[in-house]
Amino acid sequence: MKLKNYILGRWIEGSGAGQDLFNAVTGEVIASASTTGISFEEVLVYGRNVGNKNLRNMTFHERGRMIKELALHLHSKKDLFYQLSWATGATKMDSWIDIEGGIGNLFAYSSLRRQFPDTPFCVDGDAVPMSKGGTFSATHIMTPKTGVAVHINAYNFPIWGMLEKIAVNLLAGVPAVVKPATVTSYLTELMVQEIHKSKILPEGALQLIVGSARGIIEHVDMQDVVTFTGSAYTGRQLKSNPNVINNSVPFNLEADSLNAAVLGEDAVPGTPEFDIFVKEVSREMTVKAGQKCTAIRRILVPQNLVGEVQEAVSARLAKTLVGDPQVDGVRMGSLAGLDQREEVFEKVNLLAGSQEIVFGSLDTVNVTGADTKTGAFMSPILMYNDRPFEKTDVHNTEAFGPVSTILPYNNMEEAIKLTQMGLGSLVTSITTANNQIATDFVMGAAAYNGRILINNRDSAKESTGHGSPMPMLTHGGPGRAGGGEEMGGKRGVFHYMQRTSLQGSPTTLGAITKVYQPGGKYLETPVHVFRKHFEELQIGETVHTHKRTITETDIVNFANVSWDHFYAHTDVTSLDGTIFEKRVAHGYFILSAAAGLFVDPGKGPVLLNYGLEECRFTKPVYAGATIGVRLTVKEKVLQEKREDDDFRKGIVKFLVDVYDETGETVALATILTMVKTIDQS
């Protein structure tokens, strides 16, 4: 069977015989892949002209709902992917990480839409006043880039590697060209077939290249974004391509790194932390047969605990059944292929020149339900380096398989230094119940890591583990790890968008951004804003309320009702040496009084007030002051109906500007209200 490329809106076979792809368990040829005859320039142009136009015109909420629909569809088809995933050497648990972990990323990013407005772009940060009179202001907006995201992925996660990346660029409004590693691309192709059949994504939003993509980097431009996951050497070659440099093409490099796990000095045998550490190290060595960019390569252990850790980890590894992932009880499958195994063997032999193998062997491995001659199986390998500051191969060479090395340290300073000698990691974990040890380690090691997991008896039960990048957290690391960032919630979405500063009149900026800018002109209408449906409200529409004079009685009564008897509100004899001249009104009373002024009490389209943002009190209010309120429509976000009998509604953010008799603002807040729409269909 020859795999097909999904490009230019159709499935296309590359010409020629192509590269054979093998079942990692049986060694049988299961497919071939070729891109011969395909113009990568045409692929990119099609993505820019068709896919980008279709996506960038959608709002964040439309894109988010699209991603959610895709996630639901793929989840309903997950059994198809499990059936084929075993051919990559993956166990059921390995496949769960790849398949359902990837689909989980789609769900996570679909939910992230709620942190964005219902527009194709978004405002980033607060407005910046730039003039004394308030007539000249600035803000920042984020708009989708007009190019494509080119994702060059590794072989270890053929599904997760694709989905965790496209979830982000699709929400940003940018299409993707996905190039999975050829050796396991048959699984990626199967999923893209199901994506295509679903017709959920608009035309051009996703293209797939299953063979070699050599030369594609020559055709990217400054509006494209390239992401690469794999070896640091290959990543650096691509990143240094003259076309990438000359056109300042954004390039996100996530490279395999020499990640570490540290056992705290307090985590001695008999403590929960010791057991947690041993279990985590053993698991990370064998999950995906150690073929994870986040796998633990260096096991940092207090010198006096080396023997106990070596014995405990070896005992767990000895119980790990290696073999055909389809056989009950098998806990570790094969590597992705024989070529990958040979590469791991080569690196282990190199490491063995400066350190000792204390568990496992390259020569023999007991395999259940398969043949070691045809399947890419190997034994877990645990090594020991007695002088890690002198024998430094372990800090420079990675065997990308079930291989890890125990390194002794004498104090936390040494543990931090050994971690740093990896010259940049995706993740390091430390297992300790001592918060001071944890603090000292984080402060010393954070600059060398993209993520640090602190694990102990309090968190272990619900911890996602050393090797699990999470959608809303940044995945990447400095130095050897590539210096890139993937996922990361809103931060990740912004990688595919252009930040542009806008300067001008606050009124004009509000019209452009669909967010009221402080200092902008007020739009006054005869009907109170609480009497209007969601569609009828306009950005900048403002209610100027009646006035109210604050009295001593108000302050005393609020103290009695709220039980807030802070001295500044109740004890005028304690004000010497404070910023207050006399008894001051409670800030929350001022806000409550403001609500009494701006709320229209009759039943209407406003369903409820459910939140408060950016509340601050800017000037003391004393008895005798007279306050008024300017209530302005700041931003509108339409919500989708969750149930058939649910109201169709939107969220309206109102800017509450409370001012005194001098015209000076005394309190500012943003209230969130839920408002019915006219159209309830």
Place of tokens 């304690």: 574
CA dihedral 92→95→100→104, nearest 10 degrees, is 130
Which contacts (CB < 8 Å, 24+ apart) does range 638-646 have? 638/61, 638/118, 638/534, 638/677, 640/61, 640/65
Per-residue tokens: 318 = 């000895």
* CA–CA distance, 115 with 434 (Å, rounded to integer): 36
- Tokens representing residue 261 in the block: 């796990």
Kindly give the pairing relationship between strand 649-659 and strand 626-638: antiparallel
Question: Which distant-in-sequence residues (6+ apart) come within 8 Å of 164 by Cβ?
Answer: 102, 105, 469, 471, 475, 486, 487
Q: How far apart are CA 193 and CA 473, in angstroms?
A: 29
What residues does 612 pair with on adjacent strands?
671
SS3 657: strand
* 322 phi, psi to nearest 5 deg: -105, 140
Selecting among 13, 189, 280, 293, the annotated active-site residue is 293
User: Do 607 and 617 form a contact (C-beta atoms < 8 A)?
Assistant: no
Q: Catalytic residue, from 13, 100, 189, 254: name it.
A: 254
Contact 638, 61 (CB under 8 A): yes
φ, ψ dihedrals at 460, nearest 5°: -60, -40
Contact 399, 293 (CB under 8 A): no
Q: Is 343 a catalytic residue?
A: no
DSSP 637-648: EE---SSTTSPP
Q: Long-range contact list for 229-234, CB < 8 A, 24+ apart?
A: 229/152, 229/153, 229/154, 229/161, 229/254, 229/255, 229/293, 229/486, 230/152, 230/153, 230/154, 230/181, 230/255, 230/256, 231/255, 231/256, 232/256, 232/257, 232/480, 232/482
Our answer to whether residue 615 is catalytic in this structure is no
Hey, which residues are catalytic here?
254, 293
